[in-house]
A and B are shown apart, each in its own frame.
Chain A
Amino acid sequence: MSSAQIEIQLIACLVAVACAIPGTFLVLRKMAMISDAISHSILPGIVIGFFITQDLNSPVLIFLAALTGILTVVLVERIQKTGLVKEDTAIGLVFPILFSIGVIMIAKNANDVHLDVDAVLLGELAFAPFDRLLISGVDVGPKSLWIIGSILIVTIGLLIAFFKELKVSTFDAGLASALGFSPAIIHYGLMTVSSITTVGAFDAVGAILVVALMIAPAATAYLLTTNLKRMLLYAVLFGIFSALSGYWLAHWLDASISGSITTMLGLLFLVVYLFAPSKGIIAVLYREKQQRTEVSLLTFLLHLKNHTEERERHVNHLSEHINWQKVRAKTVLDLALKNNMILIEKNIVSLTVKGDEFTSQAIDYIITNEDAQIEDMKEDFFLFRG
């Protein structure tokens, strides 16, 4: 590995971590799309900054861009408060218009300089090591490394200092304001951090990857845990993993680094989405199927309990009477047999003592709807686990 490669990977990891932290809170606060809006609407801020300083690397650009990001949030809130449109429409209106203004400003005034809409949106991580920071003539490393590093340090500092406030206001805004934390300050603080992170990172990796790095690791982590600290940790780890593996994927395919990091994030999400232990699609589908079978089982047991006559309890009769297909009837019958709830003698089904007790308990539960009735049954059945 050359030093440039190491630097690129380091920058990618720092960006991933810096994005994952505010991203986690954005996802939890249902404001994920705000990051997308900010990442587009900072364009006019950058352009105006460029007109003022005529220098693409000036900190004024970052400042103005961050300011435009906050302006976006304020505008969205203002529009929403008028009650004329819903929040999502407000977001969807504000950022394309700001973006359009930026594009037109570039087209009208800055066509001949290196300020490219493609570059803003897509970024190019591979060029990051070429832009060095020189302090009195000494090369101290790539500029983006320093920018994103300082943003990350500030973010971590704020996270540690205001963790409790963030946590309470995220999960219970009412409690937070009752306890005396101003939700507005936390809200705008988070927005400012997201905005600055977006601006600091887009230069290196492009606006879309910023969005991906903010939302995807947090969303993936959210499928695995409901503990905030753990979610933050997982998000950070997923971010770093995708940054590193994405870099090598790009190296191998000779394609855009941002694109391959995003692709890795996507693959990671897909895997977790499918296979997460309790919230993955497969687990959810299995649980739904299991619950359906158990509802059928219960219906079946109730039927047996309600009918003493043999005609109603004949094996062949059951499937037509309860109107199940053959396969499901068999599944249910097997399940009941396996749990020793029924006895089949000469094709006549009858409840065992255990089955009878179980059915009575279930009826009690359905009538009284009290959890205590079924405490001991929860172990065996999905149905009663909520």
Chain B
Amino acid sequence: MDITEYIKLVFTDYTLRTITLGTAVLGAVTGMLGSFAVLRKQSLLGDAISHAALPGIAIAFLITGAKDSNVLLLGALVSGLIGTFWIRGITTKTHLKSDTALGLILSLFFGFGMLLLTFIQKQPNANQAGLDKYLFGQAATLVESDVWLMAIVTGICLFVLLLFWKEFKILLFDADYTKTLGFNTKFIDILITSFIVLAIVLGLQTVGVVLMSAMLLAPAAAARQWTNSLSVMVFLAALFGAFSGVVGTAISASQNNLSTGPVIVIIAGIFVLFSFIFSPSRGLLFKHIRFIKNRRDIELHKTLAFMYHIAETHENISHPHAVKILNNFQGFTKGTLQKLVDKDYVTIHGNEWSLTEEGFKTAANLYNQQPAPNE
């Protein structure tokens, strides 16, 4: 299947269109909110909450006996929120650290959810089949109303984000200061956490419990590498998330036996890897290039300083010396020598080098001057 054919299919085929839209919207909202989770060092909250949502789904089913996805998601939301606030209770009221609290809530809620699920499966009610799709997610079960729900939640989320932008931003970077300014930090905190929980719960049906944390983190972690501005980061993360959703759906749709969730996660992972390596200011590649360049500069300076000390002992600073002298000096290479020539610090005649006037001056001031900005 080539790309044009696929794009045509997206517009004509109901299922494919729904899934593509759904994963795109989901990716956008998780990316957006994930930025806050990452910056607040709550990255693993997503993992814990997605697991903690399971008993909520099971209890909602036990109470209503129906498999209406909105009711189940409501149950998931409630138990996710209970989990979140219990995590907070554990970390603030006891000396257990946040990772222990997260792991506790994650495994205990999930185990309890499993107990309920197996209990439900033993019930005579035949309606229970398919509850376990929330464990691993099945994008194929998305219907149009689900996508509308996601779109509405994303809209509300965007609205709240814009409305409280200033508060969110200041809370993120200086919580104590926010408090002294008289903002109700508790309220802002609960607001943002609730939205993160909401986004996670929305994603359960599509990508499942385990992969939800990656959906939350990966776009944000990738976006973080390209910018230092929060608004740009949130925008980029939403973009990356939506893009991973679309591309992941496309790849999984074009092949048999390829579940959508994992493919989306891997695409998001590729974004992260790419950003880690190629981002201009923080990326590993450019960092390494800068490192090499700095080392070369230092070697250049070392060579120049060495020449200066030799030239110093002569009356005429341009007195030629054999290149051989430099051989037992380690900073010197043919390349650095050539660079010095290019900068007119040194002239070379055959096998002999001599410092120029300018080179001598530069070398004399090498260690007592500030580097020019922008060099």
**A residues at B contact (CB < 8 Å):** 27, 30-33, 35-36, 40, 79, 82, 84-86, 88-89, 91-93, 96-97, 99-101, 103-104, 107-108, 111, 117-118, 121-122, 208-209, 211-212, 214-216, 218-219, 222-223, 250, 253-256, 258-263, 265-266, 269, 273, 279, 281, 284-285
Contact B38 A259 (CB under 8 A): no
10 inter-chain pairs at a CB distance below 8 angstroms, sorted by A residue, are A33-B102, A35-B103, A40-B210, A97-B265, A103-B259, A104-B266, A118-B135, A256-B117, A262-B108, A262-B114
What is the interface of chain B, defined by CB distance below 8 A to chain A?
38, 41-44, 46-47, 51, 89-90, 93-97, 99-100, 102-104, 106-119, 122, 132, 135-136, 210-211, 213-214, 216-218, 221, 224-225, 257-259, 261-263, 265-266, 269, 272, 276, 282, 284
In the complex, how many angstroms separate the beta carbon of A31 from the nearest chain B beta carbon? Answer: 7
**Cα A284 to Cα B282 with chains together (Å):** 44
- The answer to whether B96 touches A219 (Cβ under 8 A) is yes
- Which of B38, B109, B259, B276 is the one whose CB lies under 8 Å from A104? B259
Q: A263-B115, A266-B112 are in contact. Are A93 and B284 (CB under 8 A)?
A: no
A86 contacts across to B, CB distance below 8 A: 38, 41, 43
The residue in chain A whose Cβ has the minimal distance to the Cβ of B122 is A254
Contact status B221-A215, CB under 8 Å? no
Q: Do residues A104 and B258 form an inter-chain contact, with CB atoms below 8 A?
A: yes
Choice from B107, B116, B276 contacting A212 with Cβ under 8 Å: B107
Q: B117 — which chain A residues lie within 8 A by C-beta? A: 256, 259
Give chain A nearest CB distance to B28 CB in angstroms. 19
Are A32 and B272 in contact, with the CB atoms below 8 A?
A: no
**Residues of chain A contacted by B38 (CB below 8 angstroms):** 85-86, 89
Please pick, from A30, A96, A108, A219, the residue contacting B210 in the complex, using a CB distance under 8 A: A96
- What is the CA–CA distance of A215 and B272 in the complex, to the nearest angstrom? 30
Given A32-B104, A96-B211: 12 more A-B contacts, CB < 8 Å = A30-B97, A36-B47, A36-B106, A36-B107, A84-B225, A92-B216, A100-B266, A100-B269, A101-B266, A208-B107, A219-B100, A260-B115
Contact across chains for A269 and B94 when beta carbons are under 8 A apart: no
Q: Is the CB of A93 within 8 A of B221?
A: yes
Knowing A100-B266, A103-B262, A284-B93, the reply to whether A259 touches B136 (Cβ < 8 A) is: no
Query: A103 vs B262: C-alpha distance in the bound complex, in angstroms?
Result: 7
**List of 6 A-B pairs having minimum Cβ-Cβ separation, nearest first:** A262-B111, A259-B115, A96-B214, A212-B107, A100-B262, A259-B114
**Among the listed A32, A100, A260, which residue makes an inter-chain contact with B99, where contact means beta carbons less than 8 Å apart?**
A32
Q: Which residue of A lies closest to B92 (CB)?
A: A284
Question: Do the beta carbons of A108 and B115 come within 8 Å of each other?
Answer: no
* Complex interface: chain A residues within 8 A of B263 (CB): 100, 104
B9 CB to nearest A CB, Å: 22
Whether A209 pairs with B107 at a CB distance below 8 angstroms is yes
